[in-house]
Amino acid sequence: MSVSPPKPLLQVQGVTLQYKTREHLVTATYRVSFDVHLADRFVLLGPSGCGKSTLLKAVGGYLNPVEGDIRLKGVDVTRPGPDRVMVFQEFDQLLPWKTVKQNVMFALEASGRLRGAVAADRAMAYIEKVNLTRFADRFPHTLSGGMKQRVAIARGMAMEPDILLMDEPFAALDALTRRKMQDELLQLWEETRFTVLFVTHSIPEGGTHRQPDPAALAAPRPGQGRAEQRRRGPR
């Protein structure tokens, strides 16, 4: 036990999020607060419609809170940036006109992190981590759903962002593949210890030994922070 707790990497303080539809002003979350520390696997768990995806988008910078603030390393988050990489649920997050390798390289080059051969090396290193080296020159439409999500994860990790934001990346997969992918992700985390904020509505995905440290956001419409729980599952 340390005497003074370290400064959190990501601070979400009293965040209220609203968005407009044609008829209504929807309050997605109401005064939600939590901290994410370095090397955390932080899970936002809650039923459908409790605003957890909206909250993740706000951390991504796609949406500004109407109240409260979101800080990454003490700096206010106001717009999307390569220091917070999102991994989405949808398969079309990969650019279909680029091969697996080019997709990963695109992220590195577009954000200005790396160029040319260095970018290619880094891309291949992370593609190897998700066991897709054989498929590096394939176009996304020739891959299975699980493989596409692995590419997206490789792309996110290759950026080596401060925090990786995952929005139910396995939700569209079949149960067997999902389980396998969860194990793989956990193993990757054990190896590299990246910080991840993981959104899910599935209690097994969020709460079992697979991913510890959930914070529950229950009470849908608007979502409010209900509980935070630290799990010490068998590792």
Partner 1 sequence: MTSPPPLRPEYVRDQVDEHDFGVVNKPLTAWERIYGNSLVRRAFILFVLAAAWQGYATHLDNSLVLPTFTETFRSFVSRIISGELLIKSWVSIKVLLMGYGIGLSLALVFTILAMASRLGNDLLETLTAMLNPLPAIALLPLALIWLGLGNPSIVFVLVHAVMWPIALNTHSGFLGVSGTMRMVGRNYGLSGVRYVSQILIPAAFPHILAGLKIGWAFAWRTLIAAELVFGTTSGSGGLGWFIYENKNLLDIPAVFSGLFTVIIIGLLVENLVFRIIERRTIRKWGMHS
Q: Which residues bind partner 1 (CB under 8 A)?
A: 57, 60, 62, 79-82, 84-86, 88, 90, 92-93, 95-97, 106-107, 110-112, 139-142, 159
Q: How far is the CB of 131 from partner 1 (least distance, A)?
A: 21
Q: How far is the CB of 109 from partner 1 (least distance, A)?
A: 9
Measured from the CB atom, the residue of 97 and 192 that comes closer to partner 1 is 97
Measured from the CB atom, the residue of 11 and 93 that comes closer to partner 1 is 93
Whether the CB-CB separation of 42 and 14 falls below 8 Å is answered with no
Overall residue count recorded for the chain in this entry: 235
Report how far residue 191's alpha carbon sits from residue 176's, in angstroms, rounded to the nearest whole number: 23
Whether the CB-CB separation of 12 and 70 falls below 8 Å is answered with yes
Measured from the CB atom, the residue of 97 and 218 that comes closer to partner 1 is 97
Q: How far is the CB of 93 from partner 1 (least distance, A)?
A: 5
What sign has the CA pseudo-torsion 28, 34, 37, 40?
A: negative
Measured from the CB atom, the residue of 104 and 215 that comes closer to partner 1 is 104
Q: How far is the CB of 140 from partner 1 (least distance, A)?
A: 7
User: Contacts for 204-209 with beta carbons within 8 Å, 24 or more apart?
Assistant: 205/170, 205/178, 206/43, 206/45, 207/43, 207/45, 207/231, 208/233, 209/233, 209/234, 209/235
Report how far residue 184's alpha carbon sits from residue 211's, in angstroms, rounded to the nearest whole number: 11
Residue with tokens 């599935």: 202
Report how far residue 30's alpha carbon sits from residue 18's, in angstroms, rounded to the nearest whole number: 9
Whether the CB-CB separation of 217 and 58 falls below 8 Å is answered with no
Q: How far is the CB of 80 from partner 1 (least distance, A)?
A: 4
Measured from the CB atom, the residue of 140 and 207 that comes closer to partner 1 is 140
Measured from the CB atom, the residue of 68 and 82 that comes closer to partner 1 is 82
Q: How far is the CB of 9 from partner 1 (least distance, A)?
A: 18
